Chains A and B, each alone.
Chain A
Amino acid sequence: MKVPSLRVQSAATVAIIVTAFALVFFYAPLDADQGFIQKIFYLHVPLAICALGGFVVAAVHAIRYLRSRDPVHDARAYVAIHLSVIFGVAVLITGSIWARASWGKWWVWDEPTLVSFLIVFLLYATYYPLRYAIEDRDRQARYASVFAIMAGAFVPLNFAAVRLAEPLVHPRVFATANGGLPGDMRLTFLICLAGMALLWLTLVRFELAAKSASARLARLRRALEGESAPAQRSRIAPAVPPRTVSS
């Protein structure tokens, strides 16, 4: 399958997100229970799904790195975790705003969904110090991959455990007795989800392209200035081979 150029993908991302937000405010009906505040749902839930999905994608790339030792998979795992952590920050802030408006509190410590997401987020926040603590590039990539696989396996387990937990204050969208969301809300939600997933993918490609350009530049500098030139590179971010930018 032909991968679209980054420019085309960026334009498609902006178009879908603008359409999705227009549907949220002009098409989707007001929720009978929560009213206008439920509009946060169309932002908060897709962000959470993409963040958690991104952690699992990172685990898959980490497995591919350990099998092949190809640094491009390590780079993809790193960038996937990086973007998912940023999405995670957005999930925590938007969730907190929604909680304040719906429950009257910024945070509820005895709610399993909130606390479990915070645990996953904090777990992945330790990924950066782990990489930073290791000087050797190969060891860094190996240890980071093992971490990404273990943490990635924890994500679906954690999700399943929380779904089984009772009681729940946090709403369940697709598993209510009456079949979940009505049609127009479901359509809006699915377009929002597609927009967020495309945004995540576009930002991943964007960051990989930037890292690839940096790596190419460093090689060019070494070739022009000789091997004595100091290598200018980040200690945390993996070196990206210039051959591919797609995830």
Chain B
Amino acid sequence: MPALPLDEAGKYVAAAYIVFVGLILVYVAIMAAKLQRIDRELGELAKIAERTRSRDG
């Protein structure tokens, strides 16, 4: 098959690179959500630790 003209090839090339960037962004967003959950749980545990310390001491 002959090479596609630039205007037609451009959309395929753009699509491939956008798919790559999109996948990485989705992965990073999922990881960020996980880290947010860890941060929230850490806050809860800090409150529990403070309550326990004030009750004991």
- Say yes or no for B25: interface residue by CB 8 A criterion: no
Cβ-defined contact, B45 with A217, below 8 A: yes
Q: In the complex the two chains form, is A21's CB within 8 Å of B45's CB?
A: no
Nearest CB in chain B: distance from A197 CB, A? 14
Contact sample, A vs B, 12 pairs, CB 8 Å cutoff:
A35-B5, A36-B3, A36-B10, A36-B13, A40-B12, A40-B13, A44-B16, A94-B16, A94-B19, A101-B12, A206-B31, A224-B48
Residues of B close to A34: CB separation below 8 A: 3
Say what secondary structure dominates the interface of chain A. Answer: helix
B42 CB-CB contact with A under 8 Å: yes
Interface contact A104-B1, CB-CB below 8 Å: yes
Question: Contacts A206-B31, A210-B34; is A97 near B16 (CB within 8 Å)?
Answer: yes
The answer to whether B27 and A221 touch across the interface, beta carbons within 8 angstroms, is no
- With a cutoff of 8 Å between Cβ atoms, the chain B residues found around residue A90 in the complex are 19-20, 23
Total count of chain A residues near the partner, CB < 8 A: 36
A132 at the A/B interface (Cβ < 8 Å)? Answer: no
Q: Report how far A224 CA is from B15 CA in the complex, Å.
A: 50
Q: Is A146 an interface residue (CB 8 A)?
A: no
B47 to chain A, nearest CB (A): 10
Q: Is the interface of B mostly helix, strand, loop or mixed?
A: helix
Q: Is the CB of A35 within 8 A of B38?
A: no
Q: Are A36 and B17 in contact (CB under 8 A)?
A: no
Contact with A along B1-44 (1 / 0, CB 8 A): 10111101110110111011001100100010011001001100
Contact indicator A102/B23 (Cβ below 8 Å): no
Flag whether A141 is at the interface (Cβ < 8 A): no
- Could you list which residues of chain B lie within 8 angstroms of chain A, going by C-beta atoms? 1, 3-6, 8-10, 12-13, 15-17, 19-20, 23-24, 27, 31, 34-35, 38, 41-42, 45, 48-49, 52
Q: How far is the CA of A104 from the CA of B2 in the complex (A)?
A: 11
Residues on the A chain within 8 Å of B48, using CB: 224-225
Do B16 and A210 have beta carbons less than 8 Å apart? no
A98 contact set on B, CB distance < 8 A? 12, 16
- Which positions 27-81 of chain A face chain B at CB distance < 8 Å? 31, 33-37, 39-40, 43-44, 47
Contact with B3, one of A37, A93, A203, A224 (Cβ below 8 angstroms)? A37
Instruction: Judge whether A214 is part of the interface by a CB distance below 8 angstroms.
Output: yes
4 additional contacts, CB 8 Å, given A21-B17, A210-B34?
Answer: A86-B23, A94-B19, A94-B20, A101-B9
Which residues of B sit under 8 angstroms from A33, Cβ to Cβ? 3
- Of A40, A93, A203, A217, which contacts B38 at CB under 8 A? A217
A181 lies within 8 A of chain B by Cβ: no
A15 sits at the interface (CB 8 A): no
Closest to A101 in B: B12
Chain B residues contacting A31 (CB-CB under 8 Å) are: 3
In the complex, what distance in Å separates the CA atom of A44 from the CA atom of B52?
A: 55
